[in-house]
Amino acid sequence: MEKFLYYNELYLIYKDLINDKTSEIFDLYYGENLSMQEIADIKEISKSRVGIIIKNAEKKLDTLENALRIYEKNNKLNNLLEINDINKIKEEIEKIIKGE
């Protein structure tokens, strides 16, 4: 379940950087929660091809996140909402900006 949520989040951040065909299949799998077989039937391709497309999309999302770290920074910023000490918040924001 954690993997499912993680890739859903990455997809929402980076979907404009994935080609349309891949994006459509990825969205059916992660967004619409369809099985690979259901997607294969809809798209009239093999189930194994659907799996390959999804795996390649996951790799691309991982590569984008490793390079840009948007998901990671968003999580850090969201965690700051729980802190009541303004000085601690400023300190943590400086770390995020510096890439620490």
- Report pLDDT digits (tens) over 24-77: 999 999 989 999 999 999 999 999 999 999 999 999 999 999 999 999 988 888
Token pair for 98? 């510096």
User: Are 3 and 28 within one domain?
Assistant: yes
So what's the pLDDT on residue 89? 80
Answer for the pair 89, 80: CB distance below 8 angstroms, yes or no: yes
User: Are 6 and 46 within one domain?
Assistant: yes
Higher pLDDT, 3 or 92: 3
So what's the pLDDT on residue 80? 81
User: Are 79 and 47 within one domain?
Assistant: no
User: Are 35 and 75 within one domain?
Assistant: no
Q: Is the dihedral of CA 24, 25, 30, 34 positive or negative?
A: positive
User: Are 46 and 10 within one domain?
Assistant: yes
Answer for the pair 22, 53: CB distance below 8 angstroms, yes or no: yes
- Domain coverage including residue 76: 69-100
So what's the pLDDT on residue 7? 94
Distance of CA 31 to the CA centre of its chain: 11
